[in-house]
């Protein structure tokens, strides 16, 4: 084997390991986020949520630029994202910021789509609507949990309200994208 080929293989393995570690990180931080939120450490939880979002972004860049899309990554990356997103949403529900029925709809949607994806040979990449939904969810969570240390109480309250209202379009997109996944599946089966 030539040296350049070995270097390319080693680089490919390194990128895959980095991408997998970033995904695993998002799985792990869900529980600490809930613990920090439950203990009033909003800033620490907020920083963890931001770090989770950054790792998701970096994971995607590494996978696309190095062309290392794997079935493992396409299946576990979305699950890690759900752990990251649902952890603060559960806390927001427990604290009567979000109604429980909305979170129930979101969790059911996530189970349905994850179950459907797990049966796909490629892991089924996320639709554009689902990616927009994730962006809106992430933004709404960060705004609903905006730390008082960043701008004071008035800024925090205003951003909390904006975050609350951003949650509803994200929930709508979640349900619409779920319907889209399954209607596409029905169309494929009818052919």
Query: How far is the CA of 187 from the CAs of 125, 180, 184, 190, in angstroms?
Result: 17, 10, 5, 5
Give the model's pLDDT for residue 119: 67
Find the CATH number of the domain harbouring 117: 1.20.120
Domain total in the chain: 1
Q: Domain span at residue 26?
A: 3-190
pLDDT band at 171 (very low <50, low <70, confident <90, very high): very high
Percent of the chain with pLDDT strictly greater than 70: 83
Gap between the Cα atoms of 64 and 67, Å rounded: 5
Identify which has the larger pLDDT, 121 or 52: 52
pLDDT band at 11 (very low <50, low <70, confident <90, very high): confident
Identify which has the larger pLDDT, 56 or 65: 56
Residue 94 burial by CB count (10 A; 0-12/13-18/19+): exposed, middle or buried? middle
pLDDT band at 134 (very low <50, low <70, confident <90, very high): confident
Task: Judge whether residue 72 has pLDDT over 90.
Answer: no
Work out the number of other CB atoms within 10 angstroms of the CB of residue 126: 19
Kindly state the greatest CA–CA separation across the chain: 64
Of 27-36, 108-117, 143-152, which range is least confident?
108-117
- pTM (2 d.p.): 0.84
């Amino acid at each position: 084997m030539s040296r350049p080929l070995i270097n390319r293989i080693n680089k490919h393995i390194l990128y895959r390991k980095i991408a997998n570690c970033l995904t695993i990180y998002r799985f792990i931080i869900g529980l600490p986020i809930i613990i920090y939120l439950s203990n009033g450490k909003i800033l620490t939880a907020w920083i963890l949520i931001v770090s989770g979002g950054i790792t998701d972004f970096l994971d995607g860049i590494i996978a696309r630029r190095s062309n290392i899309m794997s079935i493992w990554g396409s299946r576990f990356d979305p699950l890690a994202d759900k752990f990251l997103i649902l952890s603060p949403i559960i806390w927001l529900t427990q604290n009567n910021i979000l109604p429980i029925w909305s979170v129930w709809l979101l969790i059911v949607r996530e189970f349905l789509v994850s179950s459907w994806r797990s049966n796909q040979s490629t892991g089924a990449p996320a639709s554009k609507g689902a990616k927009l939904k994730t962006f809106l969810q992430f933004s709404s969570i960060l705004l609903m949990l905006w730390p008082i240390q960043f701008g004071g109480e008035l800024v925090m309250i205003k951003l909390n309200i904006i975050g609350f209202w951003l949650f509803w379009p994200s929930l709508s997109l979640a349900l619409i994208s779920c319907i889209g996944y399954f209607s596409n599946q029905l169309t494929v089966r009818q052919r």
